[in-house]
Amino acid sequence: MSVSVKSASMVRVGRHYKVGVDDMVVEVADEALSDAGWRKPDAIVVSSVVYPRLSGQSDLASYVASSLGFQGVSAVAVEAGEASGLAAAMTAARLAAEGRRVLLVGVDKLSDAPSSVIYKVLKGVYHMGSDGWYMISHSAIPGLLADLYMSSYGVDRNTLSYWPALMHSHAKLNPYAMLRFAVNPEAVASAMPVAKPLTMLDSFPLGDGAAAITLAPAGDGGGIATLAAVESAVGPMTVAHADDPLDMPAVRAAWGKVKSATGVNSVDVMEIHDSYTIMAMLILEALGLSERGKAAEQVALGKFSQGGEGPLANPSGGLKARGHPVGATGVYMLAELALQLAGSFPGVRVDGARSGLAVGINAHGSTAYSALLVSSN
């Protein structure tokens, strides 16, 4: 399965009080379709998580297709919690591989409700038949894992703080990022606590966003990048069932499937799911890019920064600073990587990058998706 990415578009992640989901979708869909040279697609695949739960809208894909005036197209929404964007890409890629011109849209709206309501909605990404009985919000499990990580490996709080600082340094240059300002590592530990030991500066801002890419069969010609593979794997739904809560077997399995499908074993650039600093550390380790317990130290030493050994991590600024408009996040990752490989990402760029990896997870890794993009020239 290899399909062509024809175009990519995004709106800046932020609190867009005056703009609804419909308007954000029109903006990214029109730009993506126009750049692809299409009037309308054969199929539309939509990813959204918070908006359908707040608004009560079912069959959001038909709602979106209908409001865009695409009568007669196939429309389907895909949901996999926080990994929805890449799950939708998995479906979109297979529809494209069968010969269709596909519009993939990720859209979400987190500014329509107070943060405590958003946290209640987002708690649903965890096991609602046990952990969800308690007031775990969205951050309790990451907080537990951070506590366990620090005590198991003897990593101190300040070593973890280099990740958010790196993400902010990238977001500062990304016009689509929500938080475009620098943060010193020293500021992270003393920021407002979210779930101790994690602070506000370890976690994502609540923002709205929309992103779109167009996908066509590989033989279609042109395109800004090639989507070589999208694979996924399920892990334990609760950390209580994990043999080792600091392992992310789903991430390793999804990346393993991509490696065996494509023969590609390393990449130049990646966008990974850093909903909280601890998640980035566990993903880097599950991908085999760092030894267990060593990711934070390697981040601090610049391994994943520009000019480091690489691969460069999250030139977008990541969920931490670009933002995490939940259902849209995976589509942002793909749009950013496609532009990166085309040499036209308007921020931190990897010169001559030939391959990019997107890694999305739900919650603590109850599912993981892995998408490989390669340069199309």
Instruction: Choose which of 34, 58, 130, 158 interacts with another protein (CB under 8 A).
Output: 130
Nearer to another protein, 65 or 239 (CB): 239
Instruction: Choose which of 207, 209, 245, 356 interacts with another protein (CB under 8 A).
Output: 245
Q: At its nearest, how many Å lie between another protein and the CB of residue 114?
A: 8
Q: At its nearest, how many Å lie between another protein and the CB of residue 140?
A: 4
Q: At its nearest, how many Å lie between another protein and the CB of residue 80?
A: 18
Upstream peptide bond of 185 is cis (omega within 30 degrees of 0): no
Give CA torsion, residues 340, 346, 350, 351, to 10 deg: 100
User: How many residues bind to another protein according to rule CB under 8 A?
Assistant: 42
Nearer to another protein, 138 or 252 (CB): 138
What SS3 state is found at 168?
helix
Which x/- pattern over 165-194 shows residues binding another protein (rule: CB under 8 A)?
---------------------------xxx
- Residues within window 33-92 making contact with another protein, judged by CB under 8 A: none
Q: What's the CA gap between 139 and 119, in Å, rounded?
A: 8
Q: At its nearest, how many Å lie between another protein and the CB of residue 171?
A: 21
Q: Which amino acid is at 135?
A: M
Nearer to another protein, 37 or 114 (CB): 114
Q: Does 31 bind another protein (CB under 8 A)?
A: no
Find out whether 141 and 254 touch, Cβ atoms under 8 Å. Answer: no
Instruction: Choose which of 39, 133, 219, 351 interacts with another protein (CB under 8 A).
Output: 133
Q: Does 6 bind another protein (CB under 8 A)?
A: no
Q: What is the 3-state secondary structure (H, E, C) of 259-272?
A: HHHHCCCCCCEEEE
Q: Does 151 bind another protein (CB under 8 A)?
A: yes
Q: At its nearest, how many Å lie between another protein and the CB of residue 166?
A: 23
Q: Which range of residues in 27-35, 134-142, 296-304, 308-316 is near another protein by CB under 8 A?
A: 134-142
Give the residue from 10, 77, 87, 81 showing the smallest Cα distance to 43.
77
Q: Does 145 bind another protein (CB under 8 A)?
A: yes
Instruction: Choose which of 141, 230, 371, 374 interacts with another protein (CB under 8 A).
Output: 141
Give the residue from 104, 52, 48, 49 showing the smallest Cα distance to 73.
104
Q: Which range of residues in 24-32, 64-72, 230-238, 349-357 is near another protein by CB under 8 A?
A: 230-238
Find out whether 47 and 8 touch, Cβ atoms under 8 Å. Answer: no
- Residues within window 104-123 making contact with another protein, judged by CB under 8 A: 114-117, 119-120, 123
Secondary structure element (H or E) that encloses residue 67, with its range: helix 60-67
Q: What's the CA gap between 135 and 80, in Å, rounded?
A: 22
Q: Which range of residues in 34-42, 125-133, 317-325, 352-360 is near another protein by CB under 8 A?
A: 125-133
Give the residue from 126, 333, 366 showing the smallest Cα distance to 248.
366
Upstream peptide bond of 197 is cis (omega within 30 degrees of 0): yes
Cα 347 to Cα 83, 105, 169, 176, 343: the distances in Å are 24, 22, 10, 9, 10
Instruction: Choose which of 1, 26, 148, 261 interacts with another protein (CB under 8 A).
Output: 148
Find out whether 374 and 228 touch, Cβ atoms under 8 Å. Answer: yes
Query: Could you give phi then psi for residue 72, rounded to 5 degrees?
Result: 90, -15
Instruction: Choose which of 164, 197, 207, 249 interacts with another protein (CB under 8 A).
Output: 197
Residues that bind another protein (CB under 8 A): 114-117, 119-120, 123, 129-131, 133-141, 143-148, 151, 192-198, 200, 203, 236-241, 245
